Amino acid sequence: MSDDNSLVGKVFLITGASRGIGAAIARQALEAGAKVVLTARESSTQLLHEVASFTHERVGQALVLAGDINDDNFQHQLVKTAIERFGRIDVFVSNAGVVHFADLQHTTEEVLDYHLKTNFYSAVSLTQRIVPHIHSGGSIIYITTSITNGGFPMLAAYAASKGALKCFMQCMAVELAPQGIAVNAVAPGPTQTEMWPRALPKDALEHMGGKILPRLLTGEFGDPQLVASTVLHMAKTPTIRGQEILIDSGYTIS
């Protein structure tokens, strides 16, 4: 574990924490000695407990709360339980997200609502609930996407929902600054997570990977651990404000 103790005892609330980037953030926060509230859908309860078990050999503390992040009652219970257990929230990481591939003609109102509900609306409403419990020096970090900086076919609804979140982040960075709350975003590019394999058939995934890989200046897909490291760095750096940090292996500029 690092000698940096700046996150010891800090209270994190992380959505979408059962796998991929969210799980990596949770594990690194626990390793840093933080108290971490992990949440994801109920079908991922076992995965959440596996992430939380990381505390057995570390100094952090974990609280697992599974449920639908789009449900108002669950959001209320999530924040209420976190405050009852830890007394405050220092860092809110909004990572929960969904993706569905659809071309223009199939980007229906239903598809748009599907993305906006989880990727944007739930992040906004949870922010509203959490901010009263964040003291000066706290941090809010939204996980967006590099696609909002370049575009990608079949992902218009996904990109639009994350683009809305990016704009919301920038406004909150200004609005919440007087309260001493730092608000930022991290925008991963192509990253080795289960999100994309779950969203695409194997042949389509291989085809897409074949088009993306040549544009990655590192020669490989991103590592969730690197995204997590960036999130933790932002959580302890109050001078970073209103920024979206791209971690896309050079995809956007290539």
In 3D, which of 23, 1, 28, 36 has the Cα closest to residue 192?
23
Selected catalytic residue, list 142, 162, 166, 251: 162
**Helix, strand, or coil (residue 25):** helix
Cα 6 to Cα 29, 152, 234, distances in angstroms:
11, 38, 12
158 classed as catalytic: yes
Q: Write down the residue that tokens 């990381």 correspond to.
A: 54
- Torsion from C-alpha of 232, 183, 150, 253, nearest 10 degrees: -50
Of 146, 161, 166, 249, catalytic:
146
Tell me, yes or no, if 80 is annotated catalytic.
no
Residue among 152, 35, 157 nearest 108 (CA): 157
| Inter-residue contact 245 to 222 (CB < 8 Å) | no
Catalytic residue among 94, 122, 139, 158: 158
Query: Catalytic site residues?
Result: 146, 158, 162
